[in-house]
Amino acid sequence: MNLPHHPSLQYVKMSAPYTIVYDLDGTLVDTAPDLLHTLNTVLDRFGYPHANPDDIGNLVGHGAKAMLERALSVIGKPQDPALISSLFDEFLNHYVDNLTRHGSQPYPHVVETIDAFHKAGVAQGICTNKFQTGADGLLAELNLTHYFPTVLGGNALSVRKPDPLHITETVRRLGGTLDHAVMVGDSRNDSAAALGAGIPVIIVSYGYTSEPPHKLDADIVIDSFDELPGAIKAVTGRNLLA
């Protein structure tokens, strides 16, 4: 597969490991229970009605501040900057103390699949719009940190997905190259960033998105995480577990 090289970064093509870059929320971990609980706790403190669980696909994926802005829009409340700032501070303070308290956990087959890639020497990293403290804390509580030497949260750089530099910098820090990398995510942010970086993108169908997964410009869509090794082989021609 001939993939375009992103012009903004220079990569040394030597014996770099194959690199898998993952989104976090909705791809590796079902974080909806704790995100929604925190969101509704904050809305309740400010006297606003709760967000509906059915709206989670419209709320998650752009970071906590965007989540709050979208939640206010859904419930028909005004969005002045001072209000968003107050809600944001409350959200972060509550969420970091409740990252997994209400049931956030890896999706089925995630742990055994990333463990197999780890044992095979595949470089794995995370590129997420979740704020850095939340991403690091979540991985630590779920005992997943050791699988991901590079985790770039939404506030780690001056850009975030869908900007492709969020992905290319993740690959660079993993010691990888763009022609030996693939993105795995669940949303338009993931597919747009991967396409901009010139790498294949695999979308999971079970994540948080308001768009049908098959319309996200993915190279392939999978319904279960244990399909990932075969999907990577299908889009790259490489069996990473061989």
Catalytic amino acids? Answer: 23
Under a CB-based contact definition with an 8 Å cutoff, are residues 179 and 202 in contact? no
As a whole number of angstroms, the distance between CA 28 and CA 107 comes to 6
Q: Which two tokens stand for residue 207?
A: 């994540």
Give the integer Cα–Cα distance in Å for 58 and 47.
22
How many C-beta atoms surround the C-beta of residue 238 within 10 A? 16
DSSP β-ladder status, 201-204 and 181-185 = parallel
Q: Are 124 and 147 in contact (CB under 8 A)?
A: yes
